[in-house]
Amino acid sequence: MQISLIEFSVENFSVFKEKATLSMVARKNDNHTFESNGENLLKTSFIYGPNASGKTSLLDAFVNLKTGILFSSNMKENSELPYNPFLASENTKTKPVWFELVFSALGDHAGIYRYSFSFLPDHIVTENFTKISITGVEEQLISRTGQDIILSGWGDDVQILRDKARKETLFLSVAAQFNNKLALSFVEALKNVNIISGVTYATYQQFTIKKFKDDPLYKESILKYLKTADFCISGGRTKEIDIPSLENVKDEPDMFSAVKRMIKHTALFFEHPVFGKNNEPVGVFELSLEEESTGTQNFLSMLGPIINTLETGKVLAIDEFDNSLHPLLTKFIVDLFESSETNKHNAQLVVTTHDTSLLSYRDDFIKDQFWFTDKDEFGSARLFSLAEFDIRNDTEFAKKYLEGRFGALPFIGSVKK
C-alpha cells in the first residue's frame, strides 16, 4: 500500500496550544500537484519561522504519532505514555495531547482515511479511524473513548482484538500485532513516512553507504546526482577497512581491563580528477567521505533516503533542510521532487528551513507550498499558510517575508555600533 499525506494536525503538544494543521491540498491542479483518490495534493511544502517557533515541534509530533502506531502494542502494562503538553498555560497542563493524520491510500484498502488519537500520561483518551468516500460519506472503523471501543469492518476476531487493547495501547497497533490484515496494511504503509533531521544527517550515512555498496543502480544514481550538483566527483567505491575499538574484558571478579580490537567498517571513497599541465585529465585521487566537506557529507547522507523516497513514492520530511547546504543544492533537491521525470511515483517532500531563496523563485512555486510558524505573546505557536494572504502568485515572496509582511520573523534588538 502507498499512502500520500493530505493533512497532519496537532493540539496541546509542545509549543502548540491550539490546533495546528499542515495541509498538502492545493487549490488548483498544476505541475506542483498530483491526484490521489480525488484529492489534488502537493509534491513539496516548505515551513519557515524563527527558531523555537514550532517548526521542529511539528515534525516531532509526527514522529510521536508514527511511533505510537508502530510500537504502542509493545508497551508494558501501566507504562507511562510520552505526554508532552503545552506547559505555558494552566489550562492545558492536564489536557490530552492530540494528533490527527489524514491520508490517501492506494493499493489494498484504497481510499481516504482520517486517523486520530489523544492521550494523557497513563491512558489513551480517544482513538478514531474513519474511511471517507469520494462523495464525502464517512465510515467509522474505530470509535474509542477510554476503554469503550466501537469497531466496524475488522473481521471475525473483533472481540479478541478489543480485549487485547489495554488502556495505554492503541487499538490499531494491537490489531496489527495480531496480524489483522486491515491494520497491518496501514501500519506497514506508515513505515513509508520518514522524518530526518539536518542536524543529524550522519545518522543516515550508513543507509546511503550500504545502498551504494549493494545496489549498482543506487550507486549510479548517487554518483549522477553528485556530478550534477557540481561536487567535482568523478567516481566512487566502498572499501572494507579495519578500525580500532576498545572492548572491556572481565579478568577477575569486579575487575575489568580494556582490550584493543580491530573491527571491519565499510568506508566510502570518492574519486576526484587530476589535471595535467595543459589542464587535461590525467588521473584521479581519492578522498574518504570523512575527508570531504561537511556540505558534501550532508548531501550524500540525504541522497540515500531521497532516492529511496522518489523510487517508491514515499513521504519524506526533513528538519533543518538547509543545514550546511548551498541554496542551489536545496533547490536541486526540491526540483527532484517537483519533476515528473525524477518523481514518477508521486513522492512528497516536507521541509523546515531558513533558506529564503526558495521563496524568491516566483515562477517555480505557488503560495500553497509555503507555510510559517510563529509564537504569540503567551508562548503558543501557530501554523499558517502563505495562501491565506491576499497577494499575487508572482509576488517576490522572499522580499515580503523579510520585510515582515507575513510575520514569522524573530524580533532581534539592534546592536550599538
Spatial contact of 191 and 205, defined as CB atoms under 8 Å apart:
no
Cα dihedral angle (38, 44, 50, 51), rounded to 10 degrees? 110
- pLDDT at residue 136 in the model: 84
Angle between helices 327-338 and 294-312 in degrees, nearest 10: 10
Residue located via cell numbers 543544492: 329
List the domain boundaries for the chain: 1-192+313-410, 202-310
The residue ranges of the chain whose pLDDT is under 70 are 198-202, 244-262, 394-395, 411-414
**Which pLDDT does position 205 carry in this prediction?**
86
Phi, psi of 375 (to 5 degrees): -115, 145
- What span, in angstroms and rounded, lies between the C-alpha atoms of 168 and 157? 21
**CA 114: distance to chain centroid?**
19
Please give the grid coordinates belonging to residue 406: 507575513
Gap between the Cα atoms of 371 and 55, Å rounded:
10
Backbone angles phi, psi at 230, to 5 degrees: 65, 50
User: How far apart are alpha carbons 388 and 396 in whole angstroms?
Assistant: 16
**Residue 78, C-beta contacts closer than 8 angstroms, at least 6 positions apart:** 122, 168
pLDDT digits (tens, 9 = 90+) for 326-340: 899 999 999 999 999
What is the pLDDT, as a whole number, of residue 100? 98
1-192+313-410 CATH choice from 3.40.50, 1.10.150, 3.30.1490, 1.10.287: 3.40.50
Q: Are 354 and 48 in contact (CB under 8 A)?
A: yes
What is the Cα–Cα distance from 32 to 25, expressed in whole angstroms? 11
Output the nine-digit C-alpha cell for 183: 491494520
Edge-to-edge strand ranges of the sheet holding 281-288: 235-252, 255-275, 281-288
Cell of 238: 566502498
Return the pLDDT at 406.
82
Closest CA to 63 of 6, 13, 137: 13
Alpha carbons 396 and 356: distance in angstroms, whole number:
11
Q: What pLDDT is stored for residue 260 in this prediction?
A: 59
pLDDT in tens, 172-214: 999 999 999 889 999 999 989 999 876 666 678 888 999 999 9
- 152 vs 134: CA distance, rounded Å: 19
User: Could you tell me the CA-to-CA distances from 101 to 5, 36, 61, 70 in Å, in that order?
Assistant: 8, 16, 11, 14
- State the pTM of this model: 0.90
Three-state secondary-structure class, residue 155: coil
Beta-strand pair 2-11/20-23: antiparallel
Q: Which pLDDT score, from 0 to 100, does residue 198 have?
A: 61
